[in-house]
Amino acid sequence: VTATFTGDAGPEVASAIAGGLRDVPDFPTPGIVFKDIAPLLASAAFGTAVRSLAEHAGNVDLVAGVEARGFLLAGAVATALGCGVVPVRKAGKLPPPTIARSYALEYGQASIEVPVHVVEGKRVFLVDDVLATGGTLRAAADLVVQAGGQVSALGVLLELGFLNGRSAVGDVAPLTVLLHV
């Protein structure tokens, strides 16, 4: 039996992403199946993922990524695009002035911040590894807008379709998902 993978960059890219994932049951809390992207990051599929996201960015000034796995993607995608990067950080890490937002996670609660001044007037491509409930991406997008920027595209390696995070970010900007799960 050949499994067929689907995603917005086609079945070959989707299959490359799928091949780099490791399912970890009951992490970090019981009932959650954690999608570990460490094998993907440690393989040539990382380049495939970065190039595929970059191809779907459109015209942007900055790539933003959410701490910490989003940083790895955002930096690499920004380099591929020849533009800059913005760290969206866990609360309390950035020096002031910042703006913050709290939101619900698939497994808990979190608060994130963006630096004020760097985002203003910029078109931002917001990337992360996993779209679960969409709370993280939504909060990050709202922060970019609050900081005077424009979210012009969203991109993730994979989307957990059963959590319908798409509905939380659907009205923000076009969303690229390399692998639908």
Q: Is 113 in the site for ligand AMP (CB under 6 A)?
A: no
Among 6, 34, 116, 150, binds ligand AMP (CB under 6 A): 34
Q: Under a CB-based contact definition with an 8 Å cutoff, are residues 111 and 91 in contact? A: yes
Residues of this chain, 65-104, that bind ligand AMP according to CB under 6 A: 66, 69
Distance CA 159, CA 165 (A): 8
Dump the DSSP string for 74-116: HHHHHHHHT-EEEEEEETTSSPSSEEEEEEEETTEEEEEEEES
Return the structure tokens found at 140.
């990050």
Q: Tell me how far CA of residue 130 lies from CA of 4, 47, 165, 172, in angstroms.
A: 20, 17, 10, 17
Single out the segment in contact with ligand AMP by CB under 6 A; choices: 11-19, 44-52, 114-122, 128-136. Answer: 128-136
Question: Is 69 part of the annotated catalytic residue set?
Answer: yes
Instruction: Count residues binding ligand AMP (CB under 6 A).
Output: 18
Q: Is 155 in the site for ligand AMP (CB under 6 A)?
A: no
Q: Is 38 in the site for ligand AMP (CB under 6 A)?
A: no
Active site residues: 69, 106
Given the rule CB under 6 A, which residues bind ligand AMP? 32-35, 66, 69, 105-106, 128-136, 165
